[in-house]
Chains A and B, each alone.
Chain A
């Protein structure tokens, strides 16, 4: 909520922090000195905060070109005796995984923590992935905080554990912890001001012979989890029913039990370390329980580990009745394991398990929609007013229509992934991982042997270009894949909040650095590259038509700064609709500007049927003026 609070040197003071801020603060208090990351919601803010605190706390922080490089850089700091942090989302952890699975074998030196932000309900992701499987696969212990205070405390603990066991430790947050704000009591930062001396000391090798030692470490960590009480038992000791929960699900379960009046008969076990399990304690904790209910997001991860644990200890523990995602008792309206949990889902699930009716919230105002037809129109996400992507997709779609051979556009993730929806005229036909549109385009572009003749375009962002596209272009050049790569260059990593990338002239800390030139990189591969302005729709469209038939890969850079950035620094030009020239509904265009172009600032006057500009939203790009067949939209410079 406030970066200033993260940097306060006021031990004991209680401040409001988001989970992301609390992790940053916890890392600082733990003496973490080196942070590297690639932006990804819901965790992008962590490195931003640390980068802004580099001089105050003597830190190093960088936006790396991708998550694998970020993890490798952070590991190097740890090898050299400097506590380090890398920050990922599950998609980023996939990218880093090849390194992380090896890193567990080699081990680390100074404490190294990997923060992962999972996104149940995929609020700002293209899929719901549970990163805990990846951590377990990599043999890395997982801590899961309930709220901001725990996010800070467990981050600090994670550094201690990592350093003691010489193994990276994962702190897994979900969006509702990353982006939720609650009170945190600040710790001391005085002790971390000692200068740190980094040095290489011994070989750091990953080899299969390290496997027994790694498994030994995992067993030690399970014991440590018991010794350190990495769990909290809430509610009656003699309860025969127990909810086993992690993260914010602990709070959802507690509130649901209160609402249902079950809080005096059902207990909650909140696990702070969800892998490996605190097995020594679990035997005692589960003794005398009859029913076990699981509350976790996203996959039944704890559920699978506990049920397997219980099976092995059946002789001591007896047989439980389990209620979880696997047997469909804990489920969102979309199904078990789909979407985030909340108190309502826990109320419904617990009511069903306990054979109660759902409490009557007939006080609810659900029938307030009756007078407006029972339902409300949903809001499609849209490119911002003035977004260069809207103009780019208009040009690409027009070019492919003119070309006439069923050409299509492949894409990937970023703001421009919205090209698959209304705001991008349903232009984008594939969305997977960072840069994957280029690899897929290359695949299509090498199908000539099988009578494939359709033109192929793949779009990528500028940050994505540095992250994952260069190797794909190298491959396309070598294997002569025929397609047009369009780089939607808005000079920033827009989707995640405008972080710099290697093409920027400022680094994460705001220090001036030489900006890489993507044209030179592409020319260096001997690939034809052209730059146009996406606001100039006709020139862009014609250039696409010129480039498409050329052999092999070629690149068109559509360069215009993100309109959200521009709107904050430049006084916009004023765009308006001449009400005399606009023919409105009677024009052959049938309100092209508001109906088809899809800019939220192009509105329609419902009384006159004529186009208007919403001046509160318009940023003055003027692209709609170039589309209006009646020439009714005017652009006034320098207003």
Chain B
């Protein structure tokens, strides 16, 4: 068991990344870690950049915010936001799982800002960190039946990569605790699709 694991979930308001970070924390607790999870919500729901911090620990509970350069894992729901977080919180040992589907800021849609070249974003991420896993979580979520469960596809993908020492069974336990029966199925399905996709990628 590691002393401390720092995970950042980044994305855009409305992508369900807060729920994903809560799931990481709950799965961590199910696996026997202590956990602190911090997020901002309220105004940031309205299309702004959103990040939450999850800190798993063995003994001493740390504060809610991860210091710069200290992210062990970045779970990126949006490519540009992932790079933004990497610049501030990453280090050469960081592991990144990133959803490749862009969400354009309204300034980009209005033609006033330019969204960086996608290939360059992904290349830069790969260049600067230890491991990078990419997937189109939104597309995989459609396979599960609804684009809103892309967040659980991402959580499944993290589990599949093995970048954090939390097993599938712990995630399933956390999900069972958290979701009502009505929506548990689709979330579990999304989780498995994400996990399988990554496992297949790694095997290939």
Q: Which of B25, B67, B88, B106 interacts with A380 by CB under 8 Å?
A: B106
Cα A381 to Cα B68 in complex, Å, equals 24
Check B63–A251 contact: CB distance below 8 A. Answer: yes
Which residues of the partner chain B approach A423 to less than 8 Å between Cβ atoms?
47, 106
Q: Which of B36, B42, B121 has the most CB of A within 10 A?
A: B42
B106 touches A2 (CB 8 A): no
Q: Could you list which residues of chain B lie within 8 angstroms of chain A, going by C-beta atoms?
A: 12-14, 22, 25-26, 29, 34-44, 46-49, 61-70, 80, 83-84, 86-88, 90-94, 103-111, 113-117, 120-121, 123-125, 127-129, 138, 147, 177-178
By a CB distance below 8 angstroms, the chain B residues around A616 are: 138, 147
- In this complex, the member of B37, B43, B115 whose beta carbon has the largest number of chain A beta carbons within 10 angstroms is B43
Taking a contact as CB atoms under 8 Å apart, the answer to whether B86 and A368 are in contact is yes
Q: List 13 A-B contacts (CB under 8 A).
A: A180-B39, A182-B34, A182-B35, A342-B67, A344-B68, A363-B69, A365-B128, A365-B129, A368-B87, A371-B123, A378-B49, A382-B46, A595-B111
- Encode A248-283 as 1/0 by CB contact (under 8 A) with B: 100110110001000000000000000000000000
Q: Number of A residues contacting the other chain (C-beta, 8 Å)? A: 63
Are B22 and A1 touching (Cβ within 8 A)? yes
Question: Quick check: A181 and B69 within 8 Å, CB to CB?
Answer: no
Give the nearest-CB partner of B29 in chain A.
A16
8 Å CB interface, A569-621 against B: 591, 594-596, 598, 600, 602-604, 616
The answer on a CB contact under 8 Å between B46 and A418 is: yes
With contacts A376-B83, A377-B107, A384-B14 taken as known, whether A495 is within 8 angstroms of B22 at the C-beta atoms is no
CB of A510 within 8 Å of the partner chain: no
Residue from B47, B63, B70 in contact with A381 in the complex, judged by beta carbons closer than 8 Å: B47
CA distance A364 to B107 in the complex (A): 29
CB of B112, distance to nearest CB on chain A (Å): 9
Whether the Cβ atoms of A600 and B109 lie closer than 8 Å is yes
List chain B residues, Cβ under 8 A from A363. Answer: 69, 91-93
Taking a contact as CB atoms under 8 Å apart, the answer to whether B44 and A372 are in contact is no
Known contacts A365-B92, A415-B46, A595-B109; A376/B84 CB under 8 A: yes
A355 within 8 A of B: no
Instruction: Verify A180–B106 contact, CB threshold 8 A.
Output: no
**A366 — nearest CB in chain B belongs to which residue?**
B87
With a CB–CB cut-off of 8 A, which chain A residues contact B64? 147, 176-177, 180, 182, 248, 251
* B87 and A382 form a contact (CB under 8 A): no
Q: A565 → chain B, closest Cβ, in Å? A: 13
Binary interface encoding of chain A residues 494-508 relative to chain B, with 1 for a CB under 8 A from any of its CBs, else 0: 011000000000000
Q: Is the CB of B37 within 8 A of A343?
A: no
Give the interface centre of A376, A383, A418 by most chain B CB atoms within 10 Å.
A376
In the bound assembly, the distance between CA atoms of A438 and B124 in angstroms comes to 51
Verify B44–A377 contact, CB threshold 8 A: no
Whether A382 lies near B106 (C-beta < 8 A) is yes
A176-B26 contact, Cβ under 8 Å, with A255-B63, A369-B87, A600-B109: no
* Cβ-defined partner of B48 (8 Å) among A254, A255, A361, A379: A379
Tally of A-B residue pairs with Cβ under 8 A? 200
The answer to whether A183 touches B62, judged by C-beta atoms less than 8 angstroms apart, is no
Cβ contacts under 8 Å, B120 to chain A: 371-372
Give the distance to chain B from A624, nearest Cβ to Cβ, in Å: 12
Return the chain B residue nearest A45 by Cβ: B41
Q: Is the CB of A376 within 8 A of B110?
A: no
> Counting CB contacts under 8 A, is A123 at the interface?
yes
**Contact between B46 and A124 (Cβ–Cβ < 8 Å)?**
no
Using Cβ atoms and an 8 Å threshold, which residues of chain B touch A382?
A: 46-47, 106
Residues of B within 8 A of A514 (CB): none
A176 to B, closest residue via Cβ:
B64
Q: Which residue of A lies closest to B126 (CB)?
A: A368
Are A179's CB and B115's CB within 8 A? no
A123-B25 in contact (CB<8A): no
Answer whether residue A347 sits at the interface, using C-beta atoms and an 8 A cutoff.
Answer: yes
| B147 and chain A: residue at smallest CB distance | A616
The contact of A379 among B105, B116, B121, by CB within 8 Å, is B105
Task: Report the bound CA distance from A373 to B115 in whole Å.
Answer: 11
Are B128's CB and A16's CB within 8 A? Answer: no
A contact residues around B36 at 8 Å (CB):
147, 180-182
Question: How close is A128's CB to chain B, nearest CB, in angstroms?
Answer: 14
A365 with B86: in contact, given A347-B67, A380-B106, A380-B107 (CB under 8 Å)?
A: yes
Q: B128 touching A342 by the CB < 8 A rule?
A: no
C-alpha spacing A263/B26, complex, angstroms = 30
The reply to whether the CB of A388 lies closer than 8 angstroms to some CB of chain B is no
CB-CB < 8 A to B86: which residues of A? 365, 368
- The interface centre, meaning the residue of A176, A383, A602 with most chain B CB atoms within 10 A of its CB, is A176
Scoring A residues 160 to 180 as 1 if CB is less than 8 Å from chain B, else 0, what string do you get? 000000000000000111011
A603 touches B104 (CB 8 A): yes
Say yes or no: A124 contacts B42, CB within 8 Å.
yes
Least CB distance from A131 to B in Å reads 17
CA distance A495 to B13 in the complex (A): 13
A181-B36, A251-B62, A372-B116 given; A379·B47 CB < 8 A: yes
Which of chain B's residues have a CB closer than 8 A to the CB of A255? 62-63, 67
Complex Cα distance, B38 from A378, in Å, reads 22
| Sample of 19 further A-B pairs with CB below 8 A, known A343-B63, A380-B48, A384-B47 | A1-B26, A123-B40, A176-B65, A182-B36, A183-B35, A252-B63, A343-B67, A361-B70, A363-B69, A364-B88, A365-B91, A368-B87, A368-B127, A370-B124, A377-B107, A380-B47, A380-B107, A594-B111, A600-B103
B83 to chain A, nearest CB (A): 6
* From A180, A183, A370, A603, residue with most partner B Cβ within 10 Å: A180
B67 touches A124 (CB 8 A): no
Complex Cα spacing A368 to B34, Å: 32
Report the minimum CB–CB distance from A398 to chain B (whole Å). Answer: 18
Evaluate whether A372 and B121 lie within 8 angstroms (CB atoms) in the complex, with A124-B43, A364-B91, A603-B109 already known: yes
Rounded to whole Å, the gap between the CB of B35 and the closest CB of chain A is 7
User: With a CB–CB cut-off of 8 A, which chain B residues contact A415?
Assistant: 46
The answer on a CB contact under 8 Å between B83 and A372 is yes
Contact A594 B67 (CB under 8 A): no
| Residues A377 and B105 in contact in the complex (CB < 8 Å), given A364-B69, A366-B88 | yes
- Given A365-B90, A368-B86, also A377-B113 (CB < 8 A): yes
Q: Is the CB of B42 within 8 A of A123?
A: yes
Which residues of chain A come closer than 8 Å to B91, judged between CB atoms?
361, 363-365
Shortest Cβ distance from B44 into chain A, in angstroms?
7
**Contact pick for B115, options A182, A377, A495, CB 8 Å:** A377
B29 touches A422 (CB 8 A): no
Q: How far is the CA of A179 from the CA of B43 in the complex (A)?
A: 13
Contact status A252-B34, CB under 8 Å: no
A contact residues around B34 at 8 Å (CB): 182-183
Cβ of B103: which chain A residues have Cβ within 8 Å of it?
600
Residue of B nearest to A183 (CB): B34
Q: In whole angstroms, how far apart are the Cα atoms of A591 and B26 in the complex?
A: 45
Q: A42: CB under 8 A from chain B?
A: yes
A16 touches B26 (CB 8 A): yes
Distance from A571 Cβ to chain B, minimum over Cβ atoms (Å): 12
**A183-B107 CB under 8 A given contacts A176-B65, A368-B86:** no
Contacts of A347 in B (CB 8 A): 67
Does A41 lie at the interface of the complex (its beta carbon under 8 Å from any beta carbon of B)?
A: yes
